[in-house]
């Protein structure tokens, strides 16, 4: 559902569209309470209309919202209005790594800087029991303050009969591979829908630090 400028979702006033993805549309909006710009993601219809998916999404979104790190895009809020479910995130100015790579190879110092920042962000997430599972250039924003890991996405976790999280299967040699061009393409594949990707039900203490 496309939103027009001036539409209100609770305290958030839509300013302009930013983009679209597998989960729905993303808009730049204004938080009228705090006077700051935010990114509002409108969830796809099938997510908003399915009570079980919506409840599971909201529960796991709360887990991701507790993940604070200078190189992770913050999740501020979740909400629903007139049947439209949405999440509110930190609004980032810059360009994605996917866009930057289209201009050519990165200088080695910049590549190392981005790699260290994203690795540190992932380490923090893992220590909190959260696995991104959709790491790609399109989910890394390059800002003035550094690289930011975005969009933990929606995916259906694989669980065992005992309720634990099963390890991801090892791809076979015949499995299709993706080139750098595939990863930076606007049509790069999205994760499957269901829940926030990689939120692990195991205690965080079981992850090595």
pLDDT digits (tens, 9 = 90+) for 15-53: 999 987 666 789 999 999 999 999 998 887 766 777 777
Nearest Cα neighbor of 153 from 172, 177, 136 is 136
Instruction: Indicate which residue of 37, 77, 120, 134 is catalytic.
Output: 134
Which pTM was predicted? 0.69
Dump the DSSP string for 117-136. Answer: HHHHHHHHHHHTTB-----S
User: CATH for 8-206?
Assistant: 1.10.510.10
Q: Label residue 57 by pLDDT band (50, 70, 90).
A: confident
Torsion sign over Cα 154, 160, 161, 164: negative
For residues 85-104, average pLDDT: 93
Would you kindly state where each structural domain of the chain is located, as residue ranges? 8-206
| Residue 110 scores a pLDDT above 90 | yes
Cβ pair 117, 146 in contact under 8 A:
yes
Contact in structure between 19 and 11 (CB atoms under 8 Å): no
Residue with tokens 């810059």: 94
70 CB-side CA count, 13 A: 8
Q: Give the list of residues 6+ apart from residue 207 with CB closer than 8 angstroms, or none.
A: 126, 127, 129, 200
Number of C-beta neighbours around residue 103 at 10 A: 8
Active-site residue flag, 52: no
């Amino acid at each position: 559902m496309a939103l027009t400028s001036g539409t209100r979702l609770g305290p958030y006033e839509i300013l302009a569209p930013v983009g679209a993805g597998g989960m729905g549309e993303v808009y730049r909006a204004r938080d009228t309470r705090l006077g700051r710009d935010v990114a509002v993601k409108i969830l796809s219809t099938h997510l908003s209309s399915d009570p079980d998916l919506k409840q599971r999404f909201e529960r796991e979104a709360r887990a991701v919202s507790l993940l604070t790190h200078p190189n992770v895009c913050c999740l501020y809020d979740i909400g629903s209005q007139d049947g439209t479910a949405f999440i509110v995130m930190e609004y980032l100015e810059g360009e994605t790594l996917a866009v930057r790579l289209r201009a050519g190879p990165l200088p080695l110092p910049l590549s190392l800087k981005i790699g260290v920042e994203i690795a540190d962000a992932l380490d923090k997430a893992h220590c909190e029991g959260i696995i991104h599972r959709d790491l790609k250039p399109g989910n890394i924003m390059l800002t003035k303050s550094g690289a930011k890991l975005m969009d933990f996405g929606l995916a259906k976790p694989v669980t065992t009969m005992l309720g634990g999280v099963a390890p991801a299967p090892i791809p076979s040699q015949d499995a299709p591979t993706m080139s750098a061009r595939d990863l930076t393409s606007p049509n790069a594949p999205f994760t499957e829908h269901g829940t926030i990707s990689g939120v692990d039900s195991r205690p965080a203490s079981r992850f090595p630090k």
